[in-house]
């Protein structure tokens, strides 16, 4: 009786988990505004979205962005970018996405059932060029400020955008970004703590000494570490346009670059962003990065990354030259988080903080683009629109009708030929459908017509397992064994045949998934999920139903089979 109770509990738990996986829910997500700031919004996430052939989706057309320089061979650049974009999109989940080259200068992407359009666009556009650079420690920016004020005056920049008053110092104790320590195998937390200790020694924010009081001087405040500055975020567009102008670039200190930071801080009810002056020469790039994964720590949401052996040796050699300096992690010309101090040489492992208010999904997206690698050329969105289903409604209706007829015939045959035992098998099939759908929802699968075909096929495979079991039970009953013994022997003797046939089918489906694309991969996913669920229901669930019946009938002498 205790064995039966645990069986029923397991089945009940699986049912509850399946219902939970299939239940639509509101998901809080963070999206980015055009100015780079973020806002929270709620979207309705519906599991088991329909594919391009059943309901359509979003169409994206990407082209090479030549605004920052001409590209010699667009066709070759698009070929290399295609591999990176495909890796990023497929990393978002099993989504039956169509990604292909159109002509010599365009990539076409069709994504089914997209909940977050901005996220998809951001994933394919992000350049993902990662560098590590040392912050300036020579006060070069302070020295050039009078010249910048003079340029601003000649450009006619008004003082209305300036900062009216000097804010109080931000709170100390800021989290670090990188794993530190001579042993490269030691990961994140220790290095982050070391960096935090050094952060407490950073000087308070204050007006930069020796400034002329011009427009730019009033917009920029000294930060807490060398090369770090603050500005009011509502001045960002004006400040960025000014710093990007050619005459300002010519006036900047040689060998230095200005980069905006991803973090912000509220001081005296005003929102301030970070600005950094960095050494133009990078000590390391992300080309040797081999893995990246998101994680949540006490310091916040981070992306833990790993370099290959060659990259680790170079990183350790370069960071050893900059002990006690601050190092910025720069992704697509934006400083991620706040630069930590290098306390000792850093090896193959490190972590990137995502900044204030960034959730785990943002870290997952960043890890995907880092693992996929940087785009060989910048891409721009040439076209974005919604598309309808690729199949006509008549074809969809016929497919649904064929699937319904197939399932109905299976149920009728099982009930008519195996009677009571067939009814138990149909009850198991009901749970099989629930478990399979929940498994597909957990993998964020998209239902396509080939996928539904694989689903119907797996129902036939599930029934095949029950047929093997029932025929073995009949043989044992014909030999004069009791009902309980015949059921036990039937399941035991049929087990090897069921496992052999299902494993061979799973291996075939795995090959289709590994080497197939689009609908073929969707067919393989649904087939594998269905076979696994069929083994659970035909072997475990149906036998539990038999045991429950035997327990209630108190040793039945006959079995309807």
**Is there a contact between 173 and 199 (Cβ–Cβ < 8 Å)?**
yes
Tell whether the model's pLDDT for residue 181 goes beyond 60: no
Q: Which is nearest to 231 in space by CA: 245, 217, 244?
A: 217
Tell whether the model's pLDDT for residue 175 goes beyond 60: no
* 14 DSSP 8-state letter: H
The pLDDT, as a whole number, for residue 188 is 32
Confidence of residue 258 (pLDDT cuts 50, 70, 90): very high
DSSP string, 152-209: HHHHT--GGGS--SPPPPPPS-----S--SS-TTS-THHHHHHHHHHHTTSPPPBPPT
**Is there a contact between 107 and 62 (Cβ–Cβ < 8 Å)?**
yes
Residue of higher predicted confidence among 486 and 331: 486
Q: Which is nearest to 25 in space by CA: 6, 45, 54, 48?
A: 45
Instruction: Determine the Cα–Cα distance for residues 372 and 380; give it in Å rounded to an integer.
Output: 18
The widest CA-to-CA distance across the chain, in whole angstroms, is 106
Q: Tell me which residue has tokens 């992690």.
A: 329
Residue of higher predicted confidence among 16 and 124: 16
Q: Mean pLDDT, to the nearest integer, of 104-122? A: 74
Burial class (CB in 10 A: 0-12, 13-18, 19+), 500: exposed
Q: Which two structure tokens, joined as six digits, stand for 558?
A: 């006959």
Q: Mean pLDDT, to the nearest integer, of 152-163? A: 64
pLDDT digit string (tens) for 199-246? Answer: 433 444 445 554 556 788 888 888 888 899 999 888 888 888 888 888
The pLDDT, as a whole number, for residue 372 is 62
**Is there a contact between 248 and 242 (Cβ–Cβ < 8 Å)?**
yes
* Helix or strand holding residue 222 (H, E): strand 221-222
Tell whether the model's pLDDT for residue 548 goes beyond 80: yes
Collect all residues with Cβ–Cβ distance below 8 Å to 46 and sequence separation of at least 6.
24
Average confidence score pLDDT of the chain: 76
pLDDT digit string (tens) for 334-359? Answer: 888 788 888 888 888 877 766 555 66
Q: Mean pLDDT, to the nearest integer, of 306-313? A: 85
- Indicate the pairing of strand 98-102 with strand 289-297: unpaired
Q: Mean pLDDT, to the nearest integer, of 59-79? A: 79
Helices and strands in the chain, H and E counts = 16, 19
pLDDT digit string (tens) for 26-63? Answer: 766 655 555 545 556 666 677 777 777 777 777 888 88
Q: In what order do the strands lie in the sheet with 270-279?
A: 221-222, 228-232, 270-279, 256-267, 334-335, 327-331, 130-134, 284-285
| Phi-psi domain of 328 (left: phi exceeds 0; alpha: psi -120 through 50; beta: other) | beta
Can you tell me whether residue 26 is helix, strand or coil? Answer: strand
**Maximum mean pLDDT: which of 65-69, 226-230, 305-309:** 226-230
* 45 DSSP 8-state letter: E
DSSP lists the bridge partners of residue 260 as: 275, 334
Instruction: Determine the Cα–Cα distance for residues 200 and 238; give it in Å rounded to an integer.
Output: 32
Sign of the CA dihedral with 330 first, then 334, 337, and 341 last: positive
The pLDDT, as a whole number, for residue 89 is 72
Collect all residues with Cβ–Cβ distance below 8 Å to 519 and sequence separation of at least 6.
51, 53, 96, 448, 449, 450, 451
Q: Which is nearest to 172 in space by CA: 188, 136, 207, 196?
A: 196
CA distances for 78 relative to 24, 58, 70, 167, 433, angstroms: 38, 21, 14, 48, 42
**Is there a contact between 106 and 297 (Cβ–Cβ < 8 Å)?**
no
Buried b (16+ CB within 10 A) or exposed e, 49-63: bbbbbbbbbbbbebb
pLDDT digit string (tens) for 186-196? Answer: 333 323 333 33
The pLDDT, as a whole number, for residue 228 is 92
């Amino acid at each position: 009786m205790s064995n039966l109770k645990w069986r029923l509990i397991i089945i009940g738990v699986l049912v509850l988990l399946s219902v939970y996986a299939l239940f639509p829910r509101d998901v809080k997500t963070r999206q980015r505004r055009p100015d780079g700031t973020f806002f929270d919004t709620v979207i309705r996430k519906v599991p088991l979205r329909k594919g391009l052939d059943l309901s359509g989706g979003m169409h994206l057309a990407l082209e090479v962005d030549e605004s920052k320089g001409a590209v010699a061979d667009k066709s070759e650049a698009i070929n290399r970018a295609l591999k990176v974009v495909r890796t990023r999109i497929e990393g978002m989940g099993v989504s039956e996405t169509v990604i292909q080259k159109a002509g010599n200068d365009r990539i076409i992407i069709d994504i089914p059932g997209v909940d977050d359009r901005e996220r998809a666009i951001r994933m394919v556009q992000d350049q993902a060029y990662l560098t590590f650079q040392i912050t300036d420690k020579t006060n070069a920016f302070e020295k050039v400020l009078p010249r910048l004020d003079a340029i601003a005056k000649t450009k006619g920049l008004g003082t209305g955008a300036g900062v009216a008053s000097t804010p109080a110092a931000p709170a100390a104790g800021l989290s670090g970004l990188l794993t530190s320590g001579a042993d490269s195998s030691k990961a994140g937390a220790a290095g982050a703590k070391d960096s935090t200790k050094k952060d407490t020694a950073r000087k308070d924010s204050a007006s930069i000494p020796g400034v002329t009081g011009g427009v730019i001087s009033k917009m920029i405040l000294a930060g807490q570490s060398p090369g770090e500055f603050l500005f009011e975020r509502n001045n960002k567009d004006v400040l960025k346009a000014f710093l990007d102008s050619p005459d300002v670039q010519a006036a900047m200190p040689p060998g230095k670059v200005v980069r905006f930071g991803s973090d912000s801080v509220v001081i005296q009810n005003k929102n301030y962003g970070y600005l950094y002056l960095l050494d133009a020469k990078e000590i390391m790039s992300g080309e040797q990065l081999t893995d990246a994964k998101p994680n949540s720590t006490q310091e916040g949401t981070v992306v833990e990354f790993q370099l290959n052996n060659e990259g680790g040796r170079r990183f350790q050699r370069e960071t050893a030259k900059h002990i006690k300096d601050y190092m910025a992690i720069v992704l697509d010309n934006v400083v991620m988080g706040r630069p930590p101090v290098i306390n000792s040489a850093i090896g193959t492992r490190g972590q990137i903080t995502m900044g204030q208010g960034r959730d785990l999904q943002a870290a997952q997206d960043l890890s995907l683009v880092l693992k996929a690698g940087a785009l060989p050329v910048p891409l721009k969105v040439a076209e974005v629109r919604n598309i309808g289903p690729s199949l006509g409604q008549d074809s969809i209706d016929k497919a649904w009708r064929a699937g319904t007829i197939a399932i109905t015939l299976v149920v009728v045959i099982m009930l008519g030929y195996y009677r009571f035992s067939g009814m138990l098998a149909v009850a198991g099939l009901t749970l099989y459908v629930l478990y399979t759908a929940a498994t597909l929802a957990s993998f964020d699968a998209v239902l396509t017509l080939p996928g539904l075909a694989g689903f119907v096929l797996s129902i036939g495979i599930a029934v095949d397992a029950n047929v093997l079991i029932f025929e073995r039970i009949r043989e044992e009953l014909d030999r004069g064994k009791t009902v309980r013994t015949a059921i036990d022997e039937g399941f035991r003797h049929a087990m090897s045949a069921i496992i052999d046939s299902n494993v061979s089918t799973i291996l075939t489906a795995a090959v289709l998934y590994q080497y197939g694309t689009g609908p073929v991969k969707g067919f393989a996913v649904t087939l594998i999920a269905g076979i696994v669920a069929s083994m659970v229901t035909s072997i475990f669930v149906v036998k539990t139903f038999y045991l429950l019946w035997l327990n209630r009938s108190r040793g039945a002498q006959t079995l309807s089979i």
